[in-house]
Chains A and B, each alone.
Chain A
């Protein structure tokens, strides 16, 4: 057992800290710090700075721009990025389709897409959920039918996050309705401006636009845009969702949000209230326990298999993320009602919209009920 980072690990952490706090444009980091809306260009600039330094997609295979880092180094990279208020590399590119193409795609497909994907020259969106296929994703009904060498896609996706910015979509389609539902799914890639694709933004409870409905009406997709083999889509989706759960515990960002909340409490002169102070202590402590669990997981998953405790990270991580948004609402008190005001502090005006927005965290990435099912089933044998 060992508490400290090795000298090399500490130096690596410092290198990441310096990079993120000096190379990523300050205007972008300030937006993240204050919880302001990020434009498409903010994500692109930030990710391209990282890609130029070779650290936008460390989890990818080295030959496609990844890094031969230890799990702990990847963890430190991710934590320092969040602590420095850097927007994470676009999840749809870096965490989802990139690794899927690198693992399942043909050499031609890799060469065509991976360099542009890690540089965010292509903005990807995720065509997975449908109105009647949420947690039960394998029930999806969007269908792709053969027409010569092409596929013709009809159906509808929903909850397509940031689809309004997207150039391409990776889309799960039913290619064989005759077999067990998991066995008849394939993954197709196509541009969002293909004739027959219609995007309808969904206004969210915080007043913003993040997710969309996407409709497909006889969308023609060339056969070469199928990832891997026909009917292999479920395997690819599970591979993708497995990657999604790693790093979904937003420890660094939540720590930063909690430290910021503490600054507000000090400025309000509220921290002398023992009830409020106790609430900070309890949250900091649970977050520490979560961070240490994340470290336990990364320090002991060198053989590539995730540590069993990894499944608690998403569950408790999002609960704590939400708890901090609640704390900020309560700190703002009556000013939390002044969400349209120009005179109350910006954080107080943002508090409730952020709180409402982050109810999503326990729903996406495998809802927390799905996580409990996984823990009960695969870990506890229930």
Chain B
């Protein structure tokens, strides 16, 4: 068992971190605000540079125009995105929507669609049901990967869709599929197991995005505690505050462990274990995200509730990630159903 990145993975992480530095609140507090203020709510030039770096085709087979990388590489990209709250819809477009095309598409569909995704020319998103909301980037996406009744189709974005801004600075839309021209992915038919698998991978990637955001929120908080002065001393002189920061750290480290483990389960290819592993990672992430998000604001005081300062935006994003792709109730329900199938839970078996 080994939880550390190898040299190549570290190099990838450093490159992604460098690319996304424009959003780092420490270097440029305005960039994210500018980008999220106007549609489509992300930086299309930066999206192009992510494509050039190979990030948008990272998990696809090389034959499909991708890089043939695995869940670990996807995870570290997601974590870097979370760290600076980059508004680019990476997990929704690349991991979830395109992930279904990679799994289900015919040779031609994969070559055409995934090639466009990897080059940054075509934005995909995922929608479920005849009336779907909220669909991430539903007003901007070129192609919708549409699930209805357990079958998956490719659909052009319906005409005349108006999107809206979400509380975390992202974009979403209501999509109605009424006599839309839908093309089955691959051979068509009911594909619930594939849907579950790809959704689980996207859940895990979203957890990594949250881990990045939690780490950054904690770092902002500790930095604030060591600089802000009240009563003539810096705030880190108050044990009532530092103990809470210690609890945030504990939450973060436990979450990092379980989320990383879930990624390794995904990388291991054990599809029977994947769903529960994703549910476990998601549950832990949701619990930690709420505590860390709230404490990060509280330890900052009033500034934490302002739009001007970044920490509240972390809490907003963490809340969005917690309710996207299954909330705590869904994970509890999934895991409760399996409680009597084992005695001791053993991650090494």
Contacts and interface: CB of A to CB of B under 8 A. Distances in A.
A277 B344 contact: no
Contact of A381 (B226, B283, B284, B287): B226
Contacts of B218: 380
Interface stretch (B61-69, B116-124, B256-264): B256-264
A278 B236 CA distance: 37
A311 to B, nearest CB: 9
B177 interface: no
B206 interface: no
Interface in B211-262: 218, 222, 225-226, 236, 239, 242-243, 245-247, 249-250, 253-255, 257-258, 260-261
A296 B336 contact: no
Contacts of A259: 343-344
B148 interface: no
A293 interface: yes
Nearest to B332: A278
B345 A293 contact: no
A263 to B, nearest CB: 7
A173 interface: no
A274 B339 contact: no
A305 interface: no
A298 to B, nearest CB: 9
A268 interface: no
A94 to B, nearest CB: 24
Given A1-B2, A72-B1, A263 B284 contact: no
Interface in A330-380: 369, 371-373, 375-377, 379-380
A376 B246 contact: yes
Contact of B344 (A4, A83, A266, A293): A83
Given A1-B3, A4-B268, A5-B1, A289 B336 contact: no
B240 to A, nearest CB: 11
Contacts of B239: 373
Contacts, number: 147
A280 interface: yes
A277 B338 CA distance: 10
Interface in B1-37: 1-6, 9
A213 interface: no
Nearest to B338: A281
A142 B249 CA distance: 38
A2 B242 contact: no
B342 to A, nearest CB: 8
Contact of A299 (B2, B263, B339): B2
Given A255-B344, A289-B254, A274 B242 contact: no
A18 interface: no
Interface residues of A, number: 52
Nearest to B255: A289
Given A299-B1, A380-B246, A292 B347 contact: yes
A167 interface: no
A354 to B, nearest CB: 19
B249 A266 contact: no
A205 interface: no
Interface in B254-303: 254-255, 257-258, 260-261, 263-265, 267-268, 280, 283-284, 287
Interface string A120-140: 000000000000000000000
B242 A300 contact: no
A369 B243 contact: yes
Given A274-B336, A277-B339, A286-B284, A2 B344 contact: no
B1 A382 contact: no
B278 to A, nearest CB: 12
A256 B346 CA distance: 11
A292 B261 contact: yes
A73 to B, nearest CB: 12
Contact of A3 (B236, B246, B265, B283): B265
Given A262-B339, A292-B258, A312 B348 contact: no
B267 A288 contact: no
A380 B261 contact: no
Contacts of A296: 3, 257, 260
A222 B254 CA distance: 49
Contacts of A38: none
B282 to A, nearest CB: 10
A288 B258 contact: yes
B348 A285 contact: no
B72 interface: yes
**Central interface residue in A83, A258, A295, by most chain B CB within 10 Å:** A295
Given A288-B280, A288-B345, A289-B284, A1 B255 contact: no
A290 B254 contact: yes
B345 A284 contact: yes
B51 interface: no
B258 A3 contact: no
Contacts of A286: 254, 284
B132 interface: no
Contact of A380 (B242, B267, B287, B345): B242
B226 A3 contact: no
Contacts of B4: 1, 299-300
B45 to A, nearest CB: 32
Contacts of B348: 4-5, 13
A295 B346 CA distance: 12
Contact of A289 (B3, B245, B246, B257): B257
Nearest to A376: B242
Contacts of A5: 1, 348
Given A3-B1, A3-B265, A372-B243, A380 B254 contact: no
Given A72-B1, A83-B344, A312-B254, 18 more contacts: A1-B2, A3-B261, A3-B267, A259-B344, A262-B340, A262-B343, A263-B343, A277-B336, A280-B336, A284-B339, A288-B345, A290-B257, A293-B253, A295-B3, A316-B250, A373-B243, A375-B250, A379-B249
- Leading 6 A-B pairs by shortest Cβ distance: A3-B264, A376-B242, A292-B257, A289-B254, A375-B246, A277-B336
Interface of B: 1-6, 9, 72, 218, 222, 225-226, 236, 239, 242-243, 245-247, 249-250, 253-255, 257-258, 260-261, 263-265, 267-268, 280, 283-284, 287, 332, 335-336, 339-340, 343-345, 347-348
10 contacts: A3-B267, A83-B344, A277-B339, A286-B284, A295-B347, A299-B2, A312-B250, A372-B247, A380-B245, A382-B225
